[in-house]
């Protein structure tokens, strides 16, 4: 079985065909974060069309990119999310593996959506994902969805989790998941710098 470290300045390598071996429903990923946006769109349909186009703003905080979009009615709070992409270099091309996305769910609470790539033998969905920040104990995340390219899990960011992320803003992060044959893969992000500013922008 081939097991080696993700290349590039961020990550540890992963090679193989894209195959799903899991009893997880296929659906569009990051649906939780889109729920709030869908609500604002539904409200916009019942209101008169805005006179101005909806404004979108993007700001980069070190490793993180925060995107905020005004709601169509211009009255409710704008919808924001922060993304830290994960890529690897392969044959002089940047290959996306997934992303760590922070946003709000349908109830307005902060959540982290952590995506992991599919691999040749599939992902062991029952083991979920571990997100380790610096020297702190890892956060366990259950998978919530898969498609042929990647799987994702959602971590609810209560005050304790949010504080731990902000405290680790100058530390590395390790995302660990397990192959279907039981071997594990670890993606090391050398720095999550800017996560404190990204969270503050979303709040």
Q: Does a structural domain hold residue 4?
A: no
**pLDDT single digits (tens) 69-94:** 887 666 667 889 999 998 777 788 87
Segment 169-172 long-range contacts (CB within 8 Å, at least 24 positions apart): 169/193, 169/194, 169/195, 169/196, 171/133, 171/134, 171/135, 172/134
DSSP structure class, residue 179: B
Residues 110/202, Cβ–Cβ less than 8 Å: yes
Domain count, the chain: 1
How much is the pLDDT for 60?
95
**Boundaries of domain holding 128:** 31-202
Residues 180/123, Cβ–Cβ less than 8 Å: yes
**pLDDT single digits (tens) 25-75:** 334 455 556 555 555 555 545 555 545 667 789 999 999 999 998 876 666
**pLDDT single digits (tens) 130-180:** 999 999 999 999 999 998 888 999 999 999 999 999 999 999 999 999 999
Q: Does a structural domain hold residue 113?
A: yes
Instruction: Using the structure block, give the residue that is written with the tokens 């065909």.
Output: 17
Q: Does a structural domain hold residue 186?
A: yes
How much is the pLDDT for 51?
54
pTM: 0.72
Q: Does a structural domain hold residue 164?
A: yes
CATH of the domain at 156: 2.60.40.1880
The arrangement of strands across the sheet holding 56-61 comes to 56-61, 64-69, 79-90, 93-104, 110-117, 150-156, 143-146
Q: Does a structural domain hold residue 3?
A: no
Q: Does a structural domain hold residue 188?
A: yes
């Amino acid at each position: 079985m081939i097991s080696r470290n993700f290349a590039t300045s961020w990550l540890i390598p992963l090679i193989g065909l894209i195959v799903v071996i899991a009893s997880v429903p296929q659906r569009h990923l990051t649906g939780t974060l889109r729920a709030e946006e869908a609500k604002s769109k539904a409200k916009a349909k019942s209101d008169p069309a805005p006179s101005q186009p909806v404004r979108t703003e993007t700001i980069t905080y070190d490793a993180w990119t925060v995107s905020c979009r005004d709601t169509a009615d211009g009255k409710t709070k704008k919808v924001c999310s922060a993304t830290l992409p994960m890529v690897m270099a392969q044959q002089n091309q940047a290959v996306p593996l997934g992303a760590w996305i922070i946003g709000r769910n349908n109830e307005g609470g902060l959540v982290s959506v952590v995506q992991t790539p599919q691999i040749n033998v599939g992902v062991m969905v029952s083991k979920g994902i571990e997100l380790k920040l610096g020297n702190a104990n890892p956060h366990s995340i259950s998978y919530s969805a898969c498609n042929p390219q990647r799987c994702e899990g959602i971590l609810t960011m209560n005050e304790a989790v949010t504080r731990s992320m902000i405290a680790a803003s100058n530390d590395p992060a390790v995302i660990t998941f397990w192959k279907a044959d039981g071997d594990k893969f670890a993606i090391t992000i050398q720095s999550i710098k800017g996560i404190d500013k990204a969270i503050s922008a979303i709040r």
